Structures are given as C-alpha cells and as structure tokens.
Structure 1
C-alpha cells in the first residue's frame, strides 16, 4: 500500500469512528428523551384520565368499609371500569391536598361515604362546584340531607337505614315468641350514638305495633363492649328472671349477653339477637347460643354503588334512592341456604 492510499484509508476509518460516535450520542439522547417522557407521563399523565371513577370513603380500619371497598373493586372489572377507592383518613396523612388532586383529574363521578358528615358535605359541595357528578353510599343520611339543602343534585344515594334493622329484629321476635307478652331487654351502644339509637328505636316502634303486649323491661348501654354487656345482663336477670328476649345492637354485646345467659343456665329460655353478622356471631348461631343476627350487607352496598356509578358515567339513568336490604341470619336461614342475600356475605 502506497502512502496516499494509507492516508485515505486512515481518514476513512477516522470518519467512520466519528460517525459511530455521533450516532451513539444521538441514540443516547433519544433514549433520555423517551425515558423523560415516560417519567413525566407516569407522574402527570394521569392528571386527566378519560374515565376516572373515584370512591372516597373513610374508616379504613372498619371491616364494614373494607368489605364495601371489596365489592366496589370486584364489580368495577365486571362493569368495564377501573374504580379508584380512596380512604380519606389515610389520604390526608400522605398529602394534605389529596382532594384537590382528585378534582384536577376531572373524574366521571365521585362517590362519598363514611366521612364525618360536615367534612363529607363540604367535599360534595367542592366537587359539585367543579361540575363533577357526586353520589353517596352511607349509613348516615346527614351528608345527603345537607346536599339537598344546598340544592346539589346527587346522582344517586345508596343508604342504609338503622331503623329498618331494628324493625327486622322486632319481626323476628314476633315470629318466634312463645307467649303473647314477651319480656325484652335492649342493649344499646354509647348513649346518643346515631347507629345505636336508630337500631334501638326502630325495634321499639316496630315491636309496639307487632306485639302490643310485649314489654321492654329496660334499655341498657354497654358502649359496644362485650364484658360490659355481660355484666349488665347479669344484673338484668336478677331483676327479670323470666326474660324472653335480648336484643343487642351489635354482635359483640350480643355475645356478652350470651355469656351471662349461658352462665345462668337460661340458654333455652332466652333468645338473643345481635347485629352485624360477624363470623363469631354466625358460629354462635350454629352452636345455638345466639338466636339470630342482622346485617345491612356491605358487600351488596359495594356492588350496587359501583354498578350505579358506572352507569352514571356512561350516561345511563339509575334509581336515585336505593335502600340497603336487611339480612336476618338464624340457624334455619343458614341451613336452608334459601335467602338470596346470603351470597353477599363476606
């Protein structure tokens, strides 16, 4: 190879190396741009999703709301939507502006439930002001009542009614009483608690109509505490040894009542009714130490809420007001397996 050709070859190789370097730098630059774009999308691209459905609920430690969440999420898949369930009591700890973030995403609808009534009513007002459809799933009618007062049109309301739980308990007493004038003890939660008062008052009104000769010997308050309920029942049995029924407005207190009744050897005489259909209560019913328990099925509430929200988001008309049915569970109901609401127990 002569000198001229050698120089040409060397220059050509040098150009190729430089071209390769330029190409590599370009590839690296493009890669950085792509990664940056993907990062930006991941962080902000969801700021305005096309079909966001939010369910803002509270009491993350409450098993009722956890089951409602389960019903919402499992139904979302069937309805072709991706529901986002936010526990407000947790979201506020992570980001004080969490609700503004939700509003910025312009969701199809926001369904609220279980927050402190005044706080929830304010969130409803803020969402409505932004032109976002709002709805309610709740055990407390206060937020929906506040929305009505403010002329806010709720897309729908799925509402549990505590009085209807008490009424169903009274119907059970009327159907199973052994004498026309049964004696009944009512065990409430904390005095003044809306849930407790609703369940107790619903029972009192219904039993007066269904069994006029029935006698409520007393209403005692055990503040949701099993041991306290047991002690109160022991005292009541001393004053009323011929008691026929005990209606406790939650299962924990019903189980406490059962402890006292069994200790007194009056398990066959006194029928005990609880509320919430906890696993412990259902086991007690099978064992014969509780007569019945009632529940406004939370999984059903989650399903119904998600179905309605999906329909509203798609422009389908829905029933504005939906009352949550009450399931009464007794040994007969468990064994017959005929009540369709049993499928929603979790």
Structure 2
C-alpha cells in the first residue's frame, strides 16, 4: 500500500519520465489512458485497474498526462498508444471532444474502446460515428443530487440562504452533470436555498479557494457550498475556515478521495459523494476482458456512489466502504 500511496504523489516531471521509460505494448495488452495520476481520484482508479488486471489475468499499459486540463497532450499520448496496437483502449478523456480523432482511428483498427468514468457525450459520439464498446462510471447527475439531498438534510427543507456551486472545467460533461444534478434537486427539496453563483473552478483547488473568498465577501451569510470534485471542495474549505465560518457553512465535494476522507475525519469538509474510482477502474478492466473475448457487456455500466460522512466512516458498517481508497 505504501508504494501505491507514493505513486499518487509523483510530480509531473517524474511521472513523465516514468511513462517515457515504459516498454512498448505486447500483443494482447490493454492500453489505459488516465487524466493525471497526480490527482488522488485517478490514483485510486489506477489502483483499481491494477487489481482488476490481476483478477482478470491480463496485461495492461497505463499512461497519464501532467494535469486534468492538458487536453492536447492527452490526444498526443492517445495517438502514441494507438500506434502500439492494443486489443482495447480504456480512456478517461479530459473533455468530450479532445480524444475523438484518436478514438475514431482506434475504432477503424478494430480496437475495443471504453469510456472510462463517463467523460464522453453520447450525442457527440453518434455525430462523429464513434461506437464505443461501453461506458463505465458513476451517474454524475445522481451524484450531484445526492449532494443536494445531504445538504438539505443538514440545513433543513425550510432553510433559506445563499449557496455556491463550484463547477468543473468549462465544457466538461462530468462536472456539468454534477452541477446540474445538484441544482435541480436543491430547487426541488429546499426552494429557499438560493444558488447565488455557479462558477467553473477548472478542477483547481486554488481557483476554488479564490472563488469562495469572493462569494463569501459578497454573501457573508453563505450557508452551503457544492463543489464538483473534492480538490475544489478542499479549496473552499480553506477559505471558509480562514474566514472563521467553518461552523456555519455545509461544504460537499464529489469523489471520496483520500484527501477528502482526511478532511472529513478532521471535521472540516462536511461530506463527499464518493464515486468509488477504485471500483470503476477494477470493473472497467474486468468487463473489457469479457468484451475482448466476445462476451456480452452492457453499453452503460453504472458504479454506485456513497455519501461519505464522518458518521458513515466511524460506523464502519457500510459495505461500499471497502472500495474507498
């Protein structure tokens, strides 16, 4: 486990060197293209890929880019992986369009293509004539809705006051679905809670902290913050506590990564809708093996989510806690 934790802390330069030194794919291997292993979410998914490959008895080759905003670099890596002729490519696209040329080429070569973590837009894929083998991930609209449900459970259905939504990277379907699911469910359950700002935080902790500072200045009575991932939620936590309002604002993220778990246990972050990335990675490899061998696999595989709170973790009875890494 210590080696795995170390891998999550690789800097961009070290990660690039590691990937550049990786051997070429042998025939029959799977190509795994992540966003960035510097993010604990993708690190946990990488752990799931590793364990899934072991249980499925397959070889794989994993690469990632320096950040989850490096769309052009990710396309270049995808094209390089394509040249190695894997039997399947499991890809977590940075946005809905950046990998389309590579995925179309993979399809033309008969390579099985998997949408990892549901980052591709089905309408765009259809327009481009790309038929992926399957998409696997959480229901992101539902994840946002779960965040709203938990916020209302803490504040009350009759609560009033301003709420901030920190979105993901502009144009990214994952963050858009999470923000939309939250907003729609919040309006349904607690119409007195008003979303006073819904702004892109670009998956960046520092930017989210700055957004939170700005909104707190304008709305000192802020009662809730929903962030489309844990990194941004933790940036919001920093600003809220620095302003002396740590007891007044319910802050909810999405992912359930290791940093969020630590913050929840410390009584800072209120909750995270855990996406169980470890389980996503593990099931992706196991299911693509079935597809490669000619078996039937659902076109849409939904992995469950879990609202992770201190009470849930202290209780220790929730079966899904096994997959929180």
Q: Which has the higher helix share?
A: 1
Pair 1:136–1:218, CA change in 2 (3 A):
closer
* Structure 2 match to 1:140: 119
Pair 1:261–1:101, CA change in 2 (3 A):
closer
Q: Secondary structure at the match of 1:289?
A: coil
Query: Where does structure 2 lack aligned partners over 5 or more consecutive residues?
Result: 1-23, 66-72
* Structure 1 match to 2:53: 76
Q: Quick one: distance in 1 between partners of 2:201 and 2:35?
A: 25
Which of the numbers 137, 143, 155 marks the counterpart of 1:177?
A: 155
Q: Quick one: distance in 2 between partners of 1:244 and 1:329?
A: 20
Please, what TM-score do these two structures have when normalized by structure 2? 0.75
Q: Secondary structure at the match of 1:333?
A: helix
1:138 offset after TM fit, Å?
A: 3.3
* Structure 1 match to 2:216: 234
- Answer yes or no: is 1:216 the counterpart of 2:198: no
* Structure 1 match to 2:269: 290
Q: Quick one: distance in 2 between partners of 1:193 and 1:153?
A: 21
Could you tell me whether the CA contact under 8 Å between 1:167 and 1:202 is conserved in 2? yes
Q: How does 1:294-333 map to 2 (within 5 A)?
A: 294-333=273-312
1:305 offset after TM fit, Å?
A: 0.4
* Structure 2 match to 1:164: 142
Q: Quick one: distance in 1 between partners of 2:171 and 2:139?
A: 14
Pair 1:168–1:74, CA change in 2 (3 A):
same
Could you tell me whether the CA contact under 8 Å between 2:290 and 2:297 is conserved in 1? yes
Please, what TM-score do these two structures have when normalized by structure 1? 0.71
Larger radius of gyration: 1
Pair 1:205–1:100, CA change in 2 (3 A):
closer
1:244 offset after TM fit, Å?
A: 3.1
1:227-253, Cα deviation, whole Å (9 max, x unpaired): 414522531443xx3x43222333344
1:73 offset after TM fit, Å?
A: 1.9
Q: Secondary structure at the match of 1:269?
A: coil
Which of the numbers 57, 75, 90 marks the counterpart of 1:111?
A: 90
1:321 offset after TM fit, Å?
A: 0.6
Q: Quick one: distance in 1 between partners of 2:165 and 2:137?
A: 24
Q: Which moved more, 1:150-159 or 1:297-306?
A: 150-159
Q: How does 1:1-346 map to 2 (within 5 A)?
A: 49=27, 51-87=28-64, 89=73, 92=76, 98-103=80-85, 107-115=86-94, 117-142=96-121, 144-178=122-156, 180-189=158-167, 192-194=170-172, 195-219=174-198, 224=204, 225=206, 227-238=209-220, 241=221, 243-263=222-242, 265-346=244-325
Number of matched pairs: 291
1:52 offset after TM fit, Å?
A: 2.8
Could you tell me whether the CA contact under 8 Å between 2:95 and 2:171 is conserved in 1? no
Q: Quick one: distance in 1 between partners of 2:89 and 2:226?
A: 37
RMSD of Structure 2 on Structure 1 (CA): 3.2
1:180 offset after TM fit, Å?
A: 0.8
Could you tell me whether the CA contact under 8 Å between 1:59 and 1:115 is conserved in 2? no
1:13-40, Cα deviation, whole Å (9 max, x unpaired): xxxxxxxxxxxxxxxxxxxxxxxxxxxx
Pair 1:52–1:259, CA change in 2 (3 A):
closer
Could you tell me whether the CA contact under 8 Å between 2:34 and 2:91 is conserved in 1? yes
Q: Quick one: distance in 1 between partners of 2:25 and 2:228?
A: 44
1:215 offset after TM fit, Å?
A: 2.8
1:133-192, Cα deviation, whole Å (9 max, x unpaired): 3222134223x5443334443221114443332211111123222461332421424783
Q: Secondary structure at the match of 2:294?
A: coil
Q: Quick one: distance in 1 between partners of 2:137 and 2:240?
A: 35
Q: Quick one: distance in 1 between partners of 2:101 and 2:252?
A: 38
Could you tell me whether the CA contact under 8 Å between 2:257 and 2:324 is conserved in 1? no
